[in-house]
Structure 1
Amino acid sequence: MSSDDIRVLIADDQSMVRQGFTVLLNAEPGIEVVGQAVDGADAVARAAELDPDVVLMDIRMPGTGGIEATRLLTEPADATVKVLVLTTFDLDEYVYEALRAGAAGFLLKDASAEELAEAVRVVARGDALLAPNLTKRLIAEFSRLSPAPAVPRMDRLGSLTERETEVLTLIAQGLSNAEIAGSLVVAEQTVKTYVSRILTKLGLRDRTQAAVHAYESGLVRPGGR
């Protein structure tokens, strides 16, 4: 194992799932599965012991579930681990809560080996897994669980410039930096700067939290801008 390899911890109550993902990921260059956990509490304990870069977290586990475990892993101010939520259903009722709890994104359990490896690499480098249309639909759908106010809350949003607000809207629609750059006709590096400023001003960890915040604040509404 190289010191540059992405260290992965797999948390799932099904042994076959853990073993399957372990085999798939260990076959990928630059990725090493360093451990497995059987439930959320075990995931938190093993993460403290193994210091993984990414935790593949099942949501539905006995005892401490994936949502609470995700919150415990990502809440500390000095937390660096990224949580990639695993789910069987593309509209799992708990996925939105997992994103709110601090997950960097989610992935269906029937994803291909290539999709799984790419998802791990995406969240490991600090990006959120928000590009797929499936994720956009899920965030829009489950933002209904926390109804947006009739008028957007401008408490923290008021600190954003007009262009930063525009970028946040596009983030919430699932656009990548490259797609946002194309839409706004600016350089991709400029978009990265805007994204960094948005996260800093809103006190958010990553693009996933930014997207959720955009819906919950009323800036973006399910099914539209």
Structure 2
Amino acid sequence: MIKILLVDDHAVVRMGLKMLLNNHAEMEVVGEASEGNEGIEKAHELSPDVIVMDLSMPHGKDGLSATSEIKKQLPNVAILILTMHDDEEYLFRAIQAGASGCILKSAPHDELIQAIQSVSKGNAYLHPSATKRLMEEYLIGIRDGEADHFNLLSDREREVLTLIAKGYSNKEIGEKLSISVKTVETHKGNLMEKLQMKTRPELVAFALKKGLLGYGM
């Protein structure tokens, strides 16, 4: 069962999401909050697996600030940003804050379900147009002289990077490579430091650009 905390300033939105998610056999909404500060408190109190976080909340702490604070205090909680803004500025800010993914409020219900399932497993989730813009922005950075540190990675780190980008969890990566989860985490930490990246979506974009998923750009 995926335990979910809803953080949105609109009660009607929370009610609709709660009905939708509670009707799914694998999901349970364990709590609600109307702004970021309350969301932080509820996250500590309820220990959810996934927080569906509204980006824009005019009262109290906003979604990005709350996301950043929660990830510092509860790094294992996955946060899915729910937004009406189809804008790369918000996308990059959400990733930098530590969000596991972003989904538009206009997205179909089945896409929301898929996104929650994905981030609950430790994967990243970005809606298609966001993925395209993330890649475009990354490639612009490369063309403008951004350092490419791929050559600094060991063969094992490249293997781990490829499997992370393909959506495997640390446990699954360990099983595939016959190494412990702790060793996987060490390799992941090393490659993120070498690539100067902090989040899974950044790693996915980098791996896609390098052609590690079988279809580069």
Task: Judge same fold: TM > 0.5, yes or no.
Answer: yes
Matching residue of 1:40: 36
* Structure (1/2) with the larger helix percentage: 2
| Cα distance in structure 2, aligned partners of 1:168 and 1:109 | 30
Contact 1:96 1:138 in 2 (8 A): no
1:28 aligns with 2:20: no
* Residue of structure 2 aligned with 1:101, choices 97, 102, 118: 97
Of residues 116, 123, 139 in structure 1, which corresponds to 2:134? 139
Determine if contact 1:199/1:205 at 8 Å carries over to the other structure: no
TM-score between the two structures when normalised by the length of structure 1: 0.71
Q: Partner of 1:93: helix, strand, or coil? A: helix
Matched, 1:72 2:61: no
Cα 1:169–1:125 change in 2 (3 A) is closer
Asked if the contact 2:161–2:188 (Cα under 8 Å) also holds between the matched residues in 1, the reply is no
SS of 2:89 mapped into structure 1: coil
Given the alignment, which residue of 201, 207, 214 partners 2:200? 207
Instruction: State the Cα distance separating 1:99 from its structure 2 match.
Output: 0.8
Percent identity between matched residues is: 34
Mean Cα deviation higher: 86-95 or 66-75: 86-95
What's the offset of the Cα at 1:164?
Answer: 4.4
Counterpart residue number, 2:166: 176
State the secondary structure of the residue aligned to 1:33: strand
Q: Alpha carbon RMSD of aligned pairs, Å?
A: 3.6
Q: Give 1:30 deviation, angstroms.
A: 1.2
Kept in 2: contact 1:25–1:33 (CA 8 A): yes
TM-score, normalised via structure 2 length: 0.73
Structure 1 pair 209/45, CA: closer, same or farther in 2 (3 Å)? farther
Counterpart AA for 1:11 = V
Distance between the aligned counterparts of 1:40 and 1:158, measured in 2?
Answer: 41
**What corresponds to 2:154 in structure 1?**
161
**Structure 2: stretches of 5+ with no match in the other structure:** 169-174
Q: Any runs of at least 4 consecutive aligned residues in structure 1 with deviations exceeding 6 A, and if so which?
A: none
Matching residue of 1:181:
none
For structure 1, list consecutive stretches of 5 or more residues without a partner in the other structure. Answer: 179-187
The alignment partner of 1:94 has SS state of helix
Change (3 A) 1:126 1:177: closer
User: What secondary structure sits across from 2:79 in the alignment?
Assistant: strand
Are the aligned partners of 2:123 and 2:167 in contact in 1 as well (CA < 8 Å)? no
> What CA distance in whole angstroms lies between the structure 2 residues aligned with 1:163 and 1:64?
41
Q: By how many angstroms is 1:206 displaced?
A: 5.3
CA distance in 1, matches of 2:163, 2:31: 36
Q: How many positions carry a matched residue from both structures?
A: 197
